[in-house]
Amino acid sequence: MIINSPIEHQYPMNSTVSALDQLKKLTTVVADTGDFERMKEFAPQDATTNPSLILKAAQQSNYQSLVQAVKAAHPGMKPSDLVDYILVAFGLEILKIVPGRVSTEVDARLSFDTKATVAKAKHLIALYESHGIDRKRILIKLAGTWEGIAAAKQLEAEGIHCNMTLLFSLVQAAACGAANAKLISPFVGRITDWYKNKLGSNWSDTNNGGANDPGVTSVKTIFHYYKQYGIATEIMGASFRNTSQILELAGCDLLTISPELLAELQNSNAVVDTKLDAAQVDKMEVLKLDESSFRLQLNNDAMATEKLAEGIRNFCIDTEKLEALLAK
């Protein structure tokens, strides 16, 4: 696990050390983008991608040569198959920039098919390995469904590491830990979006933001559960809406951050303190994680159920848009 140790010294309030550099002393910083040219300036350890991010990057003029090169190398290939080669092409470029790992996502349309998910993951790994990339530098992103978690258990047993995405609940996180998944990505901002929409005019940035932000508290709960039960799966907070959410999770194993928010942190000199501490955890009961118990607990969490379904739908839509783009 790549975790930076908390710093012993304190930065002065008006330090010239940026908030981003301070954060890097507490947490492994990951770039959340397919725009590999832009991530260079922030020197992240790892990088994450998803169908939406790759679609966005593939539409940019500065990446047309890469897209066309992939298409030219595989004439006549169906767009649905070509997508894998595009994902890996962007991943290969990203790995020239980051010293660590890149996350590449399995087709979201396979989120409820364990067998097909395993096959697709192995295909993606084979493509990377055909270019001389060690599989240890690749994280295969899978949706946090029961079927996706079952696929992760099989893949991890074969040395293929997984990044479990679309995580919105403790039961999903606990099941991923039980499956020995390498990493989970709880979606901080999307959790907050749901509660903000539900509360409407009753939402208060003062009362519901900062340490009380529901996305932040969700990750803290997962962190405490993992530390209490000695779960080795790495926690990577994701889908941030603002820098406050990021700084409230300083000390988390990893945080994947968009270029826009990385820039804000780089231009800030705010003091960054550790907010998550493995030595100070809340006591929680162990969850039942058989299939029926998992499905019931997830079903009883309206936010997690709705956001998981929405996330899968949107990734499916963007995958189809990417296929349409490649068909031109």
pLDDT by residue (tens digit) across 165-216?
999 999 999 999 999 999 999 999 999 999 999 999 999 999 999 999 999 9
Note whether 150 and 114 are within 8 A (CB): yes
SS3 142: strand
pLDDT over 70, % of the chain: 95
Question: What is the Cα 115 distance to its own chain's centre?
Answer: 23
For residues 252 and 14, which has the higher predicted lDDT (pLDDT)? 252
Question: 153 Cβ partners below 8 Å, 6+ apart?
Answer: 179, 180, 181
pLDDT reported for residue 3: 35
**Rounded-to-integer distance, Cα 140 and Cα 158, Å:** 13
Question: What region, left, alpha or beta, does residue 298 occupy, with left being phi > 0 and alpha being psi -120 to 50 degrees?
Answer: alpha
Q: 280: pLDDT confidence band, cut at 50, 70 and 90?
A: confident
Query: Helix, strand, coil: what percent of the chain each, to 5?
Result: 55, 10, 35
Please say if the pLDDT value at position 5 is more than 90: no
Mean pLDDT of the chain: 94
Average pLDDT over residues 312-328: 96
Vertex 148 angle, CA 303 and 99, to 5°? 100
pLDDT reported for residue 277: 86
Taking Cα atoms as reference points, which of 221, 173, 225, 168 lies closest to residue 195?
A: 168
pLDDT in tens, 141-166: 999 999 999 999 999 999 999 999 99
Catalytic site residue 141?
A: yes
pLDDT reported for residue 166: 98
pLDDT over 90, % of the chain: 93
Which residue out of 120, 141, 182, 307 is catalytically annotated? 141
pLDDT reported for residue 4: 41
Average pLDDT over residues 104-128: 98
Domains and CATH numbers, the chain: 19-327 (3.20.20.70)
Please say if the pLDDT value at position 8 is more than 50: no
Q: Count other C-beta atoms under 10 Å from residue 37's C-beta.
A: 13
pLDDT reported for residue 15: 61
pLDDT reported for residue 13: 52
